[in-house]
């Protein structure tokens, strides 16, 4: 359970901006080890007419030789943000891949189909109760944090299935616009069929639980995603 001391009181939803109260767009600057900015990541949440949510993530990082320009779109419904669809449009240099996953929550099954390149095939896999893709999960995590809870460990889908666990380590100050800001710090571990890695997230203590900073350790150093105000 999170210690929410110092967090502002939750007001009526119509007085609050940002997810999960209203539509939201967040832009992050991608900083390479040493501080050089190489691009940005934009996250958008849009409330759908049926009460669910449409999520979008676009990434533009000008890495030498292999520039990255990816876009991910997700739809989720219900209070628990169970996934309906996930589309991944991946562009890494000359490599172009587009795939779509459709989630059948009633049958606890999902179907993944490669659209580009043509003839990429399709596969099916089992879902846990309320299966979530990576985009839906990160918004679900914020909603849980806003209720004073750390999201439970479980499987999250992003192409393949990944076991994700979030560990709350306590309050931690980080600089924002040159001033120290108290955040809630979580370590996130991710384990998939061919990967095992971790990263850090620093959440603001606002009702929206806005991610202010993300640190991703790589072999070349730590890449950071810093919220641009």
Give domain status of residue 9, yes or no. no
* H or E element that contains 139: helix 134-146
The confidence band for 12, taking pLDDT boundaries of 50, 70 and 90, is low
Cα separation, 44 vs 58, whole angstroms: 9
Averaged pLDDT score across all residues of the chain:
92
pLDDT digits (tens, 9 = 90+) for 170-200: 999 999 988 999 999 999 999 999 999 999 9
Give domain status of residue 23, yes or no. no
User: Is the model's pLDDT at 153 over the cut of 60?
Assistant: yes
Q: Which domain holds residue 151?
A: 29-227
Amino acid 131: pLDDT: 97
Cβ–Cβ < 8 Å for 81, 74: no
Total tally of structural domains belonging to the chain: 1
For residue 143, what is the DSSP state?
Answer: H
Strand partners, 115: none
Amino acid 4: pLDDT: 47
The confidence band for 119, taking pLDDT boundaries of 50, 70 and 90, is confident
Give domain status of residue 16, yes or no. no
User: Is the model's pLDDT at 13 over the cut of 70?
Assistant: no
Give domain status of residue 5, yes or no. no
Provide the 3-class DSSP secondary structure of residue 27: strand
User: Is the model's pLDDT at 2 over the cut of 70?
Assistant: no
Q: What would the mean pLDDT of 128-132 be, rounded to a whole number?
A: 96
Amino acid 3: pLDDT: 47
Q: What would the mean pLDDT of 9-14 be, rounded to a whole number?
A: 52
Amino acid 114: pLDDT: 95
Nearest to 183 by CA among 30, 64, 6: 6
Provide the 3-class DSSP secondary structure of residue 144: helix
The confidence band for 6, taking pLDDT boundaries of 50, 70 and 90, is very low
Give domain status of residue 12, yes or no. no
**What's the chain's Rg over C-alpha atoms?**
18
The confidence band for 64, taking pLDDT boundaries of 50, 70 and 90, is confident
């Amino acid at each position: 359970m999170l210690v929410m001391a110092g967090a502002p009181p939750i007001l009526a939803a119509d007085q609050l901006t940002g997810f999960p109260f209203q539509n939201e767009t967040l832009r992050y600057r991608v900083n390479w080890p040493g501080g050089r900015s190489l691009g940005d990541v934009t996250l958008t949440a849009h409330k759908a007419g049926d009460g669910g949510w449409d999520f979008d993530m676009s990434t533009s990082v000008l890495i030498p030789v292999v520039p990255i320009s990816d876009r991910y779109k997700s739809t989720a419904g219900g209070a628990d943000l169970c996934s309906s669809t996930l589309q991944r449009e991946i562009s890494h240099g000359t490599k172009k891949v587009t795939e779509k996953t459709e989630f059948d929550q009633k049958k606890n099954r999902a179907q993944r189909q490669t659209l580009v390149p043509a003839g990429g095939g399709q596969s099916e896999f089992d879902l846990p109760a309320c299966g979530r893709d990576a985009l839906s999960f990160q918004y679900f995590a914020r909603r849980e944090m806003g209720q004073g809870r750390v999201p439970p460990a479980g499987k999250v889908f992003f192409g393949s299935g990944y076991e994700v666990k979030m560990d709350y380590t306590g309050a931690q100050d980080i600089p924002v616009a040159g001033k120290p800001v108290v955040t809630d710090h979580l370590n996130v571990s991710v384990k998939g069929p061919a990967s095992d890695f971790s990263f850090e997230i620093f959440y603001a203590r606002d009702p929206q639980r806005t991610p202010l900073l993300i640190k991703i350790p790589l072999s070349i150093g730590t890449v950071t995603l810093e919220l641009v105000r």
